[in-house]
Chain A
Amino acid sequence: MKAPAVKVRMYDVGFGDCFLLSFDYGRLARHILIDCGTTARNASQERSRLLPVARDIATVCGGRLDAVVITHRHRDHVGGFARLKNAEAPGNVLAALSPRLVLQPWTEDPALEEHPSPARREFYKSLTEADRVAAEIFREQSRQFAKTRPAQFASLAWRTFANRAAIDGVRSLTGRHRYLHRGQKTGLEQLLPGFRVLVLGPAPPEDEASWSVLERNSARERWRALGGGSTTKLFALRAGKPLFPTARTWSPGLFPPPARWFLERIQDMREDQMLSFVRAVNSDINNTSLVLAIDGFGHRMLFPGDAESDSWRQMLADPRLREFLSGTTLYKASHHGSGNGTPRSVWQLLARRRPKAQPLVTLLSTRSGIYGSEEKRSEVPRTDLVEAFEARSLLLDTRKATGRAKGGVRYVQFDLRRPGEQDGPDMLKQAA
């Protein structure tokens, strides 16, 4: 079988992901969309940024998408699927492309609540509840956070608050919906002849060996630590309502001096605790990312969504997966180039020595200044990671996108070389 021409169009959506993969077999063409979302100040900005992108996707794929892959539920990956009833939204445009197949991680299966497997029901319950509690905590504390931690507030709020419209938008896409875990068939092989598509993550909860490599089941423990009950009950005890209404309390201005040092710190601790909880639940959601490898005709393309350390640790615990990952030819940098998204052990595996004619390609979809700080070495993308990408791979970065399309759309596009093509020392051409 003749190898298809493969193009990958990485849209510059700011801090978010949106990838359109096009496979041209000559007589037929296939188009796969992996995520569509961004980080914005508000829904209006989100729409204005993503609507032209959705329209460009419709143009490139000729009005028909073959498959949509949603790696996980965070808004910067799925926000583009939100629809509006009486106005045009990116989700309306994408829905009209009628994908035949919609792939998500098993954790997004709406039937999980009634699943016969107790492990799955438990996992779903703890993750969903923790996610909802995180959003509620964040909403409750948002005024305080905006005052005391403004730098972290806006971007964390975007990811944390309920994303109902987009999740509903995805659920109502036409086509066959599949909710996948490691090792399962995706159905993409029927659409992409000659390729095999492997699901490398997330691991199912029944896979004890995979989960035992982690230090903790964080979502479950966090949810339990909060009281395990419904958030309604929890927030009946929230700020402004003392536990002991008849007991005398001190006015803030009159706190006794010996206690003041402690009181300021305990308040700080509580805010840090709440923020850590929210960040940790975000991280747990990231670790449910659908990790796909599209393998064939000398290419091995790895799209890990926002998989973080825990997810990678589970994958790397399997020696066969380690071997497989070491043959990656194209790597979509996980989690927008964060340090957690590409741990050192993963990068060492991916960036092993390879022929000059076939360098590793790294795709980086990100924007600086949205998350983290250089001072705390938590900036996203991580500076030294980007340097490593540049030193050991061919780095394609949305921040340097030169591709243009209607509506102010910016993108990076490259064509993967067919085996045997001899069009120059550089394997890849970046479309201007």
Chain B
Amino acid sequence: MTIVALDPSVRRRGRILTARIRIPMEDLGPGPRGYRAYVVDYDSSAAALYEPYQMPLADEFERSSSKDLVADPRFHAQNVYAIVMRILGRFERALGRRVPWSFGGHQIKIAPHAFVGANAFYSKEHEALLFGYFPSRSGRGVVYTCLSHDVIAHETTHALLDGLRERYTDPSSPDQAGFHEGFADIVSTLSVFSLPEVVAVALEARPGRSGWRLRSSVLLSVGKQIGRETGSQCSGCLRRPARLRPSKTILRGAGFQKAHPRGEVLAAAMLDTFLCIWESKIRALSRGQDRLLDRGKVIELGARIADALLTVSIRALDYAPPTDISFSDYLSALLTADWETARVDAEFQFRRYLRASFARYGIRATARSRHSPDEGVWPRPQVVLDYAGTNHDAMQRDPNEVFRFLWQNRRPLGLSEEAYIRVVSVRPCVRVGPDGFVLRETVADYLQVVHVRAGELKRLAGSIRKPAGMPDEQRVTLYGGGTLILDEHGLLKYHVKNGLDEGARQSARLRHLWRSGHFQDKESPQS
């Protein structure tokens, strides 16, 4: 199926750069409408519903001109549908299971021309991905966000992440606020770069030896066309993670406390990883040769690295805590995800490069235990657990069985008995490593919530400190939670948790929320 490889401004020999991708074969209804997505081409600004597109089996846009691609709403419908399904497919392949939408329904609606505006967003309330359009700066033509591959991938990732980790939009730390954006940037950029067509154009951007200077390629920027058209100060792009200079103190900077710029740091660290690996492999290829390399090999290599890194990035979600995620937690999750499927990573050495690149941006893995099997990898639980009466088969699918196990082991697992505890999901997974071997795991998440008054904080376990200036009667909600990774026998492999009793983390969260006005604007003076 033909899609726009990046966005309509990126051309090759004058023609919009397209790519042909494969998505699961299905019997599509008009829309198109498939088992997970439904394109409804309604323009609320014009109050117009375009006739739904019945996609034929043969791709009718393979040889279309650039002008026709931009002018035909049926191609726009195909483009958004295909890219959404591609990203969904990547998530399912990486995680080894079906991925739910957060809203409980099965088909996310996609409106490719939803409104006038230089914006696109995921709306849980409307169960939809909504794409805007706006006049071009030149005054000739219209810019369609539904033709920007990276924007579609970015918004689809928000929707998928929301389905996997609903609590990541809770008010928490600057890291959690930045994580959604950063992760969406990571997925959109790596998924775009997993297309050989895009890698080829990136190499052409700077010919000759300076072709290796991929960091400066504008293609590494998310939302390039849209950023340029809206006059972003970022000289032609919305965000430039690839240009963000590494600094160990960057996350302490005043300009990086808000969601978008902070997310850029996470994306920058991941892009740095990708580029370092690619550059290193290119150097290895060129050793002993006369510096002329097979361009096709370099392209294929870049696309393969991006694709493999994307798998690890997505899979890491299963090894991350379900609440209050920090960038350091995500790094440990990345390292663990890779460790589990590639103990000896001879080809790409992801763990080595992840640690080094993230460290350049001041991100160190949370896991620093002597029980960690590899540096930064989560350690195995060092407690004795009681499996008596546990139904290992039910542990792979039944939240009540998992809760029984949690409650039975609440003390060794460090759960607070003062909190409300709920098992959010239980998901069996089948993952395939690079060596072809299959890894079967069950991923179960649980949440802990406790509502207290600020004056009660000091009596809770963990010595949580009330922020300066917060009155004792202020109501606060504390969150904790954990991810249980069970092996194929139903035994606990990892327990990735953010405890209610982690005083430093909870205190920092409350302090951040108090200072940013989270409490102050919502309460009336007398409550």
Interface set of A (CB-CB < 8 Å, partner B)? 208-209, 212-213, 215-216, 224-229, 233-234, 236-244, 247-250, 252, 255-256, 258-259, 262-263, 265-267, 269-270, 273, 309, 313, 339-340, 342-345, 347-348, 351, 377, 382, 384-385, 387-388, 391
Known pairs A247-B73, A249-B48, A377-B524; list 10 more (Cβ under 8 Å).
Answer: A225-B118, A226-B134, A237-B45, A237-B142, A243-B46, A243-B133, A247-B51, A248-B51, A263-B49, A270-B44
Instruction: Report B151 CB to chain A, min CB distance, Å.
Output: 13
Chain A residues lying within 8 Å of B40, measured Cβ to Cβ, are 259, 262-263, 266
Q: List 20 A-B contacts (CB under 8 A).
A: A212-B254, A216-B258, A228-B231, A229-B230, A234-B116, A234-B134, A237-B116, A237-B134, A239-B45, A239-B47, A243-B46, A243-B133, A249-B51, A259-B40, A267-B47, A309-B520, A377-B524, A384-B526, A388-B524, A388-B526
Instruction: Report B394 CB to chain A, min CB distance, Å.
Output: 36
Cross-interface CB contact of A243 among B43, B257, B469, B527, cutoff 8 Å = B43
Instruction: Report A383 CB to chain B, min CB distance, Å.
Output: 9
- Which residues B509-527 have CB closer than 8 A to chain A? 515-517, 520-521, 523-527
Closest residue of B by beta carbon distance from A246 = B71
Instruction: Report B470 CB to chain A, min CB distance, Å.
Output: 10
Given contacts A249-B49, A250-B51, A382-B524, contact A229 B137 (CB under 8 A): yes
Given contacts A233-B139, A258-B38, contact A228 B49 (CB under 8 A): no
Chain A residues lying within 8 Å of B526, measured Cβ to Cβ, are 384, 387-388, 391
Q: Are B117 and A225 in contact (CB under 8 A)?
A: yes
Interface bin, chain B = 35 or more
Chain A residues lying within 8 Å of B258, measured Cβ to Cβ, are 215-216
Q: Are A343 and B520 in contact (CB under 8 A)?
A: yes
Closest residue of B by beta carbon distance from A385 = B525
- Which residues B140-159 have CB closer than 8 A to chain A? 142
Cross-interface CB contact of B46 among A226, A229, A242, A250, cutoff 8 Å = A242
Tell yes or no: B299 within 8 A of A by CB.
no
Chain B residues lying within 8 Å of A224, measured Cβ to Cβ, are 118, 230-232
Q: Are B135 and A244 in contact (CB under 8 A)?
A: no
Q: Are A208 and B254 in contact (CB under 8 A)?
A: yes
Q: Are A263 and B520 in contact (CB under 8 A)?
A: no
Closest residue of B by beta carbon distance from A391 = B526
Instruction: Report A178 CB to chain B, min CB distance, Å.
Output: 31
Instruction: Report A143 CB to chain B, min CB distance, Å.
Output: 12
Q: Are B254 and A259 in contact (CB under 8 A)?
A: no
Chain B residues lying within 8 Å of A239, measured Cβ to Cβ, are 45-47
Instruction: Report A275 CB to chain B, min CB distance, Å.
Output: 13
Chain A residues lying within 8 Å of B118, measured Cβ to Cβ, are 224-228
Chain B residues lying within 8 Å of A229, measured Cβ to Cβ, are 134-135, 137, 230
CA distance A79 to B165 in the complex (A): 50
Cross-interface CB contact of A266 among B130, B471, B516, cutoff 8 Å = B130
Cross-interface CB contact of A385 among B116, B126, B471, B524, cutoff 8 Å = B524
Tell yes or no: B262 within 8 A of A by CB.
no
Interface set of B (CB-CB < 8 Å, partner A)? 33, 38, 40, 42-52, 71-74, 109, 111, 113-119, 123, 125-128, 130, 133-135, 137, 139, 142, 229-232, 254-255, 257-258, 469, 471, 515-517, 520-521, 523-527
Given contacts A233-B139, A258-B38, A266-B126, contact A227 B48 (CB under 8 A): no
Q: Are A259 and B115 in contact (CB under 8 A)?
A: no
Closest residue of B by beta carbon distance from A384 = B524
Cross-interface CB contact of B471 among A247, A348, A388, cutoff 8 Å = A348
Closest residue of A by beta carbon distance from B107 = A258
Instruction: Report B106 CB to chain A, min CB distance, Å.
Output: 12
Chain B residues lying within 8 Å of A343, measured Cβ to Cβ, are 517, 520-521
Q: Are B44 and A212 in contact (CB under 8 A)?
A: no
Work out how many contacts link A and B, with CB atoms closer than 8 A.
166
CA distance A228 to B123 in the complex (A): 23
Cross-interface CB contact of A262 among B74, B109, B134, B137, cutoff 8 Å = B109
Instruction: Report A104 CB to chain B, min CB distance, Å.
Output: 27
CA distance A241 to B50 in the complex (A): 13
Chain A residues lying within 8 Å of B516, measured Cβ to Cβ, are 213, 215
Given contacts A208-B254, A258-B38, A384-B525, contact A345 B51 (CB under 8 A): no
Chain A residues lying within 8 Å of B469, measured Cβ to Cβ, are 345
Chain A residues lying within 8 Å of B115, measured Cβ to Cβ, are 270, 273
CA distance A341 to B527 in the complex (A): 17
Instruction: Report A287 CB to chain B, min CB distance, Å.
Output: 13
CA distance A253 to B386 in the complex (A): 62
Q: Are A388 and B525 in contact (CB under 8 A)?
A: yes
Instruction: Report B218 CB to chain A, min CB distance, Å.
Output: 19
CA distance A250 to B523 in the complex (A): 47
CA distance A234 to B115 in the complex (A): 11
Chain A residues lying within 8 Å of B73, measured Cβ to Cβ, are 243-244, 247
Closest residue of B by beta carbon distance from A227 = B134
Chain A residues lying within 8 Å of B520, measured Cβ to Cβ, are 309, 343-345
Instruction: Report A281 CB to chain B, min CB distance, Å.
Output: 14
Chain A residues lying within 8 Å of B232, measured Cβ to Cβ, are 224
Q: Are B46 and A255 in contact (CB under 8 A)?
A: no
CA distance A130 to B45 in the complex (A): 18
CA distance A377 to B523 in the complex (A): 11
Chain B residues lying within 8 Å of A313, measured Cβ to Cβ, are 517
CA distance A164 to B128 in the complex (A): 40
CA distance A234 to B117 in the complex (A): 8
CA distance A201 to B62 in the complex (A): 59
Chain A residues lying within 8 Å of B139, measured Cβ to Cβ, are 233
Chain B residues lying within 8 Å of A249, measured Cβ to Cβ, are 48-51
Closest residue of A by beta carbon distance from B260 = A216
Q: What 9 A-B pairs have minimum CB-CB distances, sorted nearest first? A: A227-B134, A270-B44, A388-B525, A233-B135, A228-B230, A345-B520, A384-B524, A248-B51, A347-B525
